[in-house]
Each structure stands twice: as C-alpha cells, then as structure tokens.
Amino acid sequence: MTMILALTALLLNHLIFYCSYQYKQWRSNVTRRVSLDPRYRQILNYQMVISEYPSKLSLPQSNPGVATVLEYLILKFPDVGAQVWRQRVADGKVHGHGGSLISAQSPFQSQQRIYYYREVENEPVIPFKETVLFQDEHILVAYKPHFLAVTPGGIYVNECLQSRLRQHTGIETLQALHRLDRVTAGLVMFSVNPDTRHCYHHLFETRQIHKTYQAIAKTNQNDRLVGQKWEVKNRIVRSEPRFRMCVAKGEANSHSLIRCVQQSSHTGLFELNPVTGKTHQLRVHMQTLGWPILNDKCYPTLEPLSADNYSAPLQLLAKELQFIDPVTQRQRCFSYDGNLSLN
C-alpha cells in the first residue's frame, strides 16, 4: 500500500509539472498574439493602462472640414489611429461637457469641450521620485526628476508628475501651470485652487516669473568663458520632425540671458534665464552659441530613437522660480537645493 501511494504521488507530481509547463507555454503563445488579435485580451484579462483623469480638448472655432467630432479626433491625433478612436467612441470613452456621450454621428460644434481618457499598453515606470517643496491653498511647487513627463502624453498616462501628485495629495483639481521637457529636471508649479488659477496663469503669460536654469555644455579647451555673459535673441520655429526646433530668419520671438559660472577642460556650467518660453528654447540657444547641452539627443544632431539612458540624463535643470504671488502679494522664491556638477 505504501508503495502504491508513493507511485501515485510521483505520478501526480509529474502530471502537475506537465500541466504547469503546458499552461505556461499556452499563456506565452497567447501573449505573443495579443497585439495581433484583440479577442485574446479577454482570455488573459489583458488590461490597458488608462488615465484616471480625463484629457480636455476644445474644438476649434474654424471647422477644418469635418462633419463629426469623431472625424476631427481622427484628424487631430493621426498617431492614435482611426480604428482606436472609433473603438473609444463605441465603448463610451469620449464625452462632452456635462457627461453626454459622443457617438460616431455627433456633429462637430466649434468651441465644444470634449473629454477623453488617454490609454496605452505597457506604460514604462520611471524609477525616479518627485519631491514637493511647497504647498498652500493656491499653489504647489514640486521637483520633477529627469525622464518624468509633466502631464500625460505619448506612451505616458499615469507616469507623469501631474498624475503622481494628484494621487499622492488627493487633490484632483491639481493642474500644471507651465511645462518642462520630459528629459529636463527641475521645478514645476501647479495650481491647487481653480478659482485663483487664472491669476497664476497671468504671471506666466505676462512674463512676471523669473526663472533660473543650470546647464552643463560641451566647450572647447581653449575657451575662457567664466564670467562672460550672452544675450540671445532669435526666431525659433518648428523644424522636421516637428518636435524639433530651429532658428529661422525674421523677427525674434525668443530671448535668453546666459552666463558661464564654472569651467573644466571640456565642459562648462552655465546659468540661464529665459525671458520667453519657446519650446526647447534654452537647448537651441546653447547650440546657437556653439555649446550644446550635454546628453542632448536632439541638438545639434537628432540621434536615432532609442530607450532612455538613465545614467546619462540631459544636463539641464530648472533651478529656481521667483515672483510676487498675485493672491497673497508676497515675494516668492522657490529653489531646488541640488545642483548640476562638472565632476
């Protein structure tokens, strides 16, 4: 009897191992086919990463030649794909102001507000933490690490500063008042109170906020730059591909003040004060001076698309924000205690 029980246990162990192996093989095969056949999502309980908060879009005043909201979304976001938008609308994931669902036949109406939830598959997790420096009933100021987006975009939905802070603070009305490039680190200011939000937006619109950045750039060994200052004014426009900017002829629309504060044999530490806030302004202006910022994948040469190199972040830091608070009338100065280093 003991022998029979032992053999039975052995057979059961082999059977369990075989079934487990077959299940793993089956699951692996199904996983590989998920991207090819959406029906397999139900088998695996496959989950999309969906933003907890809706993105808002206002339809333009001038109709670009479409009959429905769906047609406009397909035209506005070609990278998302027409079929994806059709499926989102069919699933009730797009709605108007007040919660009314947008159907495939909903007509285009200028200035109409549309809400939708961003979704991606396999969102990357950024392994760096943000830090809150200040918070009151009107604003919140936080340090954003390199590689973390400020707001949802592209393949990032919940892995952005705004979503993280909303989750950690419980303040669902939290909204970024300005932007930093995803690869740039530094201070970002958020509005906490929707009733006073316009006051802080006005500060940025009227250039009443003094911003200070640090950058490390490539320099020549024979350059003697410490103590020198430069004022850069030029016209920055979109290039190809469109996320990249370039200098063009015409009236200047960008303005930066730059000085060198430290130098080693092949790099220099610069302090930068942007007067205007054009996309990639400081990166373009440093390139214009002949000293591109270290680890910049876009300037002066666009590098092939590759994964983020966490060991070599763009050497650009939004160090300080100074302004007179429009609500309290207090002088505000927020400064990140870290610094870029030439070592």
pLDDT of residue 3: 57
313 and 255 in a common domain: yes
Task: Name the average pLDDT for the chain.
Answer: 87
pLDDT of residue 245: 95
Of 206, 235, 257, which closes a domain? Answer: 206
Are 288 and 272 contacting, i.e. CB atoms less than 8 angstroms apart? no
317 and 242 in a common domain: yes
State which residues form the domain around 59. Answer: 55-116
Residue 308: CA count within 13 A, CB half-sphere:
15
Contacts of 188 (CB under 8 A, 6+ apart): 141, 142, 143, 144, 150, 161, 176, 178, 179, 180, 318
In a domain, 239, yes or no: yes
181 and 89 in a common domain: no
In a domain, 248, yes or no: yes
pLDDT at residue 205 above 70?
yes
275 and 178 in a common domain: no
pLDDT of residue 153: 83
pLDDT at residue 50 above 90?
no
298 and 228 in a common domain: yes
201 and 157 in a common domain: yes
284 and 221 in a common domain: yes
Total count of domains within the chain? 3
288 and 232 in a common domain: yes
pLDDT of residue 44: 33
171 and 134 in a common domain: yes
Of 137, 171, 206, which closes a domain? Answer: 206
pLDDT of residue 37: 40
In a domain, 18, yes or no: no
Tell me what the mean pLDDT of segment 307-314 comes to. Answer: 95
| Whole-number Å distance between alpha carbons of 24 and 199 | 57
141 and 66 in a common domain: no
CATH number at residue 327: 3.30.2350.10
pLDDT tens-digit map of 70-127: 999 999 988 888 998 999 999 999 999 888 999 999 999 999 999 998 888 788 899 9
Tell me what the mean pLDDT of segment 264-285 comes to. Answer: 96
pLDDT tens-digit map of 112-164: 999 998 888 788 899 999 999 999 999 999 999 999 999 988 888 889 999 99
pLDDT at residue 66 above 80?
yes
* pTM given for the model: 0.76
In a domain, 49, yes or no: no
